[in-house]
Amino acid sequence: MNPLRPGPKLADFPVLIRSTPAMFRDLLSRRYRHWPAGTLVGGFLGLVYLVNPLDFIPDALPGIGVIDDTLMIGVFLAFLSRDLKKYLRWKRNHETQNPKPQ
């Protein structure tokens, strides 16, 4: 990932969207043991912040009121993208080492 571009590229979204349920299935079934605790806690706190009526920039201000909400979503997506890329590397290595019998 480019350090100057912390978030996912637009072209990465289809793969990331398809991979998210698979990562959580592997987490819950304990096949993948690298819990992305920071991302999960950040996602929960971000969701609480988004539904909370108190904002750093009130939503009632036209045009700029959603900036803080958009930043929260962007930070969460950047963290989720980072963890999904780690998961996809793990999955690729895991499948290479343990091929499924046909």
The per-residue pLDDT string of the chain (102 residues; one tens digit each, 9 = 90 and over) reads: 444 455 567 777 788 888 889 998 998 899 888 888 888 888 888 888 878 777 777 777 777 878 888 888 888 888 888 888 899 899 988 878 776 665
Residue 24 φ/ψ region, left for φ over 0, alpha for ψ in the -120 to 50 degree band, beta for the rest: alpha
Domain range for residue 49? Answer: 36-89
72 falls within a domain: yes
71 falls within a domain: yes
54 falls within a domain: yes
**Residue closest to 19 by CA, chosen among 80, 100, 74:** 80
68 falls within a domain: yes
Q: What is the pLDDT of residue 53?
A: 73
94 falls within a domain: no
97 falls within a domain: no
Domains contained in the chain, number: 1
DSSP 3-state of 34: coil
